[in-house]
Amino acid sequence: MSSASRQRGGEFAEEPTDDELFEVLSNRRRRYAMHALKREDRATEIGDIAEQVAAWEYDTEVDQVSYDQRKRVYTALQQSHLPKMDDAGVVEYDENRGLVEPTPALDDVEVYMDVVRGREIPWSVYYLGLSTVGTALMLALWVNAWPFTLLSDLAWGIAVVAAFTVSAAVHTYFARESRVGETDQPPELEP
CATH of the domain at 30: 1.10.10
Pair (150, 87) in one structural domain: no
Is there a domain that residue 183 lies in? no
Same domain, 33 and 90: yes
Q: pLDDT tens digits for 2-14?
A: 433 444 444 434 6
Domains in the chain, number:
2
Q: Which amino acid is at 123?
A: W
Q: Is 70 found in the same domain as 100?
A: yes
71 and 147, same structural domain? no
Query: Do 69 and 162 share a domain, yes or no?
Result: no
Domain assignment of residue 137, yes or no: yes
Q: Residue 55 belongs to what domain range?
A: 3-112
Are 101 and 127 contained in the same domain? no
Residues 108 and 128 in one domain: no
Report pLDDT for 187: 63
Residue 189 located in a structural domain:
no
pLDDT digits (tens, 9 = 90+) for 7-56: 444 443 467 887 888 888 889 999 899 889 888 888 999 999 999 999 99
Residue 180, pLDDT > 70, answer no
